[in-house]
Structure 1
Amino acid sequence: MSTASLGGTLPAGLAEDPAPGLPGLSRRRFAATATVLASGLTLTACSGGDGSAGSPTSHSTLRMGQFWPPVSLDPAKAGGESLFYLNPAYDPLIHRAADGSLQPRLATSWRYLGKGNTAFEIKLRAGVTFSDGAPLDAEAVQRNIAYFKKAAGQAAAFLAPVSRVEALDEHTVHLGLSQPHPLLPALFTQDYFAGNLISPRALADPGRLASRTCGAGPYMLAPAETVMGDHYTYVPNPRYWNARDRHYGKIVIKVLPNENTALAALKTGQVDVISGSYAIAAGAARAGLKVASSPNIVMGIQLNDRTGKLSPPLRDVRVRQALNYAVDREKITKALLGAYGTPTDQPAVPGQDGHNDTVFYPHDPLKAKQLLTAAGHADGFTLPVVIPSTPAFPGEIAQAMAADLEKVGVRMRITAKEPTSAAQEITKYPASTMGWGALPVYFMGRGLWLRDAVGMNPFHSSDPELERLDRQAAAADEKTRAGLDRDIVRRVVEQAWFLPVCLSPVFLFHRDSVRIEVTRDRPFPSLVDWRPAADPGA
């Protein structure tokens, strides 16, 4: 899941350079969409022309280097790798600020109606138009939700409970839900795509959205200055409702798939900001560059075959728990990530939803051997694991884990495949790389451990107690849900469906000419919140 994601939970091949915010739950599609659409009046109205229209007072250009190109520029079909490419052109209904607070954007207010989290109201900002001139109104929200659900992208699973969308008046929308959903405000932020509203005119021909933007954000894509898969140029949207809060005259995102090349470009001033991994963090710091990190990628191995279909020993919870006791998380994290990593045996980040202040599986090889013996596997067994061949980190962590498991008699047989194949073939292996963003517990359940989870529960494992706790938490008020979320995470850990090792950070490296306000243990702020350091408001 990139990611995120659910922008997002991240897919297995994404650990070394995930998109910040990480909202994504589906497995990563690595090939960039490069659909070339015929040009015409309507397309030009959505995306920009020559970049001259509506330029703000500031004529500075923000230049970013990003490891991955977007799978698609369509918010309903994009993954976590596309977040930075969508931020400039699509204002969300609700804006998640750097400190994690939710602030009005295209919606001016929102609230649940009654109890049980099954009815929700959105009040829209009046006077807003999309970049093609279409008005923002309740009907536009109706059409967007219908499109997002039909598109079957990362947001679709989270919108599934929405069974009715009613326009009460021009700027008021009521959502009716078939089952409780406690996180609709978060879902409609920039992090999970569903709030990134698309012009209803563009939805009449959605194929063009793969390579054009039709949003209500501060910028729009300039096709004449863009080469799909190489660089993407955004110019001011002259119809933007809040032009005073636009900080750059132009934004250019350059695809730089080699981290060392990206770092060199940053050092020499060819770009202002790059995303990257721990591998270049020390070099960036030595060069005097700014280093921002957020520890929210859970790395390790997924024990997918919990019923023992491919690997009979995994049917026994004692075996899965033994594997968790066998791994020395402190040692592996320090060796691979140094000061940037955090050892973990649970899928929740300290200070965020569901985290338990407990070490469930301290390193204890003797305990691991005892559990294996009690389960009838005193001599160990062979555990096939599939990992992506690139980037390097999934292989490095798998090898380190294999060394620990070998000491208790479990032999990991590691198969490295091209990333797309590795993601597609996880049903052929009892275990696979784990590398996904730590999301709110409600979202993680729908991507990772509920029976019908999208993407990362390939054998549709089910646990009645988990399902019961999830139903309770979904309908609970915020205070009650906090305790239930911790119970859910505890149950997941005790079932030992996963073998997490560390929280790997995501990084932004930037020059001091750019101001990026980062809050500890929170996702990175939207690209539109970045500003020149010389900006009076910075």
Structure 2
Amino acid sequence: MLRALRPFVLGATLALTLAYALPAHSAKDLTVGVSDNILGLDPTDLNDSVSLSATRLFYQGLFGFDENYKVIPVLAESYDVTDGATVYTVHLRKNVLFHDGTPFNAAAVKINYDRLRDPTLRLKRQSLLEAVDRVEVVDDATVRIVTKYPSAVLPNYLAHTGASIISPKALEQYGKDIGRHAVGTGPFVFVDKQADRLKARRNTQYWKPGLPKLDNVTIRSTPENGSRIAMLRAGEAQFIFPLPPEAAELVAKDPKLTTVKTPSIVIHYAALNTLKKPFDDLRVRQALNYVIDKDAFIRIVYNGYATPMDAPVAPGIAYYSKQNVWPYDPAKAKQLLAEAGYPNGFESEIWTFSNTLNSRAVQFLQQQLAAVGVRLAVKPIEAGVATDKLWGAKTPEEAQVRMFYGSWAPSTGDADWALRPLLSVKSYPPAMFNISYFHNEAVERALTQGLSTADPAVRKQSYDEVQKTVWDNAPWIFLSVDTLLAGRSKNLVGLRQQADTSLSYETADLQ
């Protein structure tokens, strides 16, 4: 620090001295460590939460969610809806530019929504707009969305990251390669994507004054838990997710770091392919639920930072309907297996994404199932091949998956999106994610009824029926609801994690 200047120093010398003495602007560069690779940058064509979260750097939709998971306007300023919830007139924000300098307007919304709805493109988030019949441009700042049936929940679907608005110019320029680029209206501009990292820089023409506060953001894919923790403790990353549960206290004791705990809508389950033996037998599926000690699973795998699933959806989801937790009863499990013709158990395999926590979870399942003679081979799969292995089968008969340990975060906050993509017959791959190949006519009727009405009482009745039927038919081993754990440098403020695991970078700052 320059404490004093000698009075005889000439003006030019004084200026030079001050230039050396005062600190230059220090770039605010944030590094975030995540557990899985980022598979692409087209939010309309992504399945996994890590990739979708990363696209929030660049993209926005007409609506979004606040910290309490309530729908708020983003690129929309407001909307009007008819009493029957079939016509939405959305008033758009003005003077917003895409990163390529082209204007955001009603035509851009129509182009994006028509693209997402196009069945020939088979975009993975197409079902978000299943209720939409047509999109009309009223004027530059107004768009009209007409639905096929009453849809009070449409704003929730438009708030999903998968319904983000991409620059029409970029869609035309990059075509099918748009997933390797990112041109939106968001707070950051795409710089580069490599196998293990994504780089973004500040959008200097962002429509919100004074934001973003960071200069650069790098997301680094670091599957190994120890490596992510080491990055955080060494200052190479300022935020890591997930934080391994066993490291929560270690991070909390570090004077430069803090542990962040966020209630979530993320469920963990093991899907059972109900079209393949022995999982086509209800008694077998019930037995597997009885043989897993859910409290021990949470204690050993998540160090206590979770709760047992007591419904097919998390308590934070609209129209959640509590069931009874499947009790731990190995004797009952053995009885059911014997009745189903498997007194000595059977052999199978379980797939899961390759990371430390998933490996620990499936090893726990392997040990528990061995107690009733079920011999389970663990098959880790890399995220990059999951699309083909899990969701690439053109027919149910082609599907190779037998069991899959995974998670689901229904990022609309509504029961329909929590259930339909995973449990409807219309959601068999490659359309969506029903890798249990579960099919129940009562569930189909109730899902259709719940989606096609604006009456809250009818929706509640519909989703109550779905959840009870699914619970009783056990297409999954129902396991846990997460408490999200992350590690953060104390000088990082304003980075918000949502209940579906996604990160909001807009107000993040390094102090």
Specify the TM-score bucket, using the shorter chain as the normaliser: 0.7 to 0.9
Indicate whether 1:442 and 2:416 are aligned. Answer: yes
Indicate whether 1:414 and 2:355 are aligned. Answer: no
| CA distance in 2: counterparts of 1:186 and 1:326, whole angstroms | 37
1:487 paired residue among 465, 471, 475? 465
Indicate whether 1:173 and 2:143 are aligned. Answer: yes
| CA distance in 2: counterparts of 1:339 and 1:60, whole angstroms | 35
What does 1:130-149 correspond to in 2, within 5 Å? 130-149=98-117
Aligned AA (1:236): R
**Residues 131, 192 of structure 1: CA spacing in aligned structure 2 closer, same or farther, 3 A cutoff?**
closer
What does 1:3-42 correspond to in 2, within 5 Å? none
**Residues 437, 385 of structure 1: CA spacing in aligned structure 2 closer, same or farther, 3 A cutoff?**
farther
Give per-residue Cα distances to partners, 1:64-103, cap 9 Å, x unaligned. 2333342222233344222343222223211211121222
The equivalent of 1:107 in structure 2 is 76
The equivalent of 1:60 in structure 2 is 28
2:253 paired residue among 286, 289, 307? 286
Aligned AA (2:504): S
Give per-residue Cα distances to partners, 1:382-405, cap 9 Å, x unaligned. 151232372243343333234433
| CA distance in 1: counterparts of 2:53 and 2:270, whole angstroms | 28
What does 1:280-319 correspond to in 2, within 5 Å? 280-288=247-255, 289-294=257-262, 295-305=264-274, 307=275, 310-311=276-277, 313-319=278-284
| CA distance in 1: counterparts of 2:93 and 2:248, whole angstroms | 41
**Residues 410, 355 of structure 1: CA spacing in aligned structure 2 closer, same or farther, 3 A cutoff?**
farther
**Residues 463, 285 of structure 1: CA spacing in aligned structure 2 closer, same or farther, 3 A cutoff?**
same
The equivalent of 2:87 in structure 1 is 119
Aligned AA (1:130): F
- On the 8 A contact 1:73/1:213 being kept in 2, the answer is yes
- On the 8 A contact 1:303/1:432 being kept in 2, the answer is yes
SS where residue 95 of structure 1 aligns?
A: strand
**Residues 358, 376 of structure 1: CA spacing in aligned structure 2 closer, same or farther, 3 A cutoff?**
closer
| CA distance in 2: counterparts of 1:65 and 1:379, whole angstroms | 46
- On the 8 A contact 2:52/2:161 being kept in 1, the answer is no
Instruction: Specify which structure has the bigger relative contact order, considering alpha-carbon pairs within 8 angstroms and separated by 6 or more residues.
Output: 1
Aligned AA (1:418): I
**Residues 473, 398 of structure 1: CA spacing in aligned structure 2 closer, same or farther, 3 A cutoff?**
same
Indicate whether 1:352 and 2:317 are aligned. Answer: yes
The equivalent of 2:369 in structure 1 is 405
**Residues 363, 467 of structure 1: CA spacing in aligned structure 2 closer, same or farther, 3 A cutoff?**
same
SS where residue 121 of structure 1 aligns?
A: strand
Indicate whether 1:228 and 2:194 are aligned. Answer: yes
1:461 paired residue among 430, 438, 441? 438
The equivalent of 1:43 in structure 2 is none
SS where residue 76 of structure 1 aligns?
A: helix
Give ranges in structure 2 of 5+ residues lacking alignment.
Answer: 1-24, 391-398
SS where residue 45 of structure 2 aligns?
A: coil
1:442, distance to aligned residue in structure 2 (A): 0.8
- On the 8 A contact 2:224/2:355 being kept in 1, the answer is no
| CA distance in 1: counterparts of 2:342 and 2:56, whole angstroms | 53
TM-score (norm 1): 0.78
Give per-residue Cα distances to partners, 1:352-379, cap 9 Å, x unaligned. 3343333242222333344445x44361
**Residues 390, 442 of structure 1: CA spacing in aligned structure 2 closer, same or farther, 3 A cutoff?**
same
1:525, distance to aligned residue in structure 2 (A): 4.9
1:468, distance to aligned residue in structure 2 (A): 1.4
Give per-residue Cα distances to partners, 1:150-206, cap 9 Å, x unaligned. 4433321222332311112222212223355443212222x4321x21112112123
1:254, distance to aligned residue in structure 2 (A): 3.5
The equivalent of 1:93 in structure 2 is 62
| CA distance in 2: counterparts of 1:59 and 1:501, whole angstroms | 44
**Residues 529, 377 of structure 1: CA spacing in aligned structure 2 closer, same or farther, 3 A cutoff?**
farther
Identical positions, percent: 22
2:505 paired residue among 506, 527, 530? 527
| CA distance in 2: counterparts of 1:76 and 1:326, whole angstroms | 39
- On the 8 A contact 1:63/1:254 being kept in 2, the answer is yes
Aligned AA (1:136): F
The equivalent of 1:77 in structure 2 is 45
Q: CA RMSD in A?
A: 2.9
**Residues 316, 229 of structure 1: CA spacing in aligned structure 2 closer, same or farther, 3 A cutoff?**
closer
- On the 8 A contact 2:69/2:499 being kept in 1, the answer is no
**Residues 256, 396 of structure 1: CA spacing in aligned structure 2 closer, same or farther, 3 A cutoff?**
closer
2:230 paired residue among 252, 264, 288? 264
| CA distance in 1: counterparts of 2:348 and 2:454, whole angstroms | 42
Give per-residue Cα distances to partners, 1:191-244, cap 9 Å, x unaligned. 4321x211121121234533333211222123xxx3523443333323322132
SS where residue 98 of structure 1 aligns?
A: coil
Give ranges in structure 1 of 5+ residues lacking alignment.
Answer: 1-56
Aligned AA (1:243): P
Based on CA coordinates, which of the two structures has the bigger radius of gyration?
A: 2
- On the 8 A contact 1:383/1:412 being kept in 2, the answer is yes
1:59, distance to aligned residue in structure 2 (A): 5.2
Indicate whether 1:243 and 2:206 are aligned. Answer: no
1:111, distance to aligned residue in structure 2 (A): 4.4
The number of residue pairs the alignment matches comes to 465
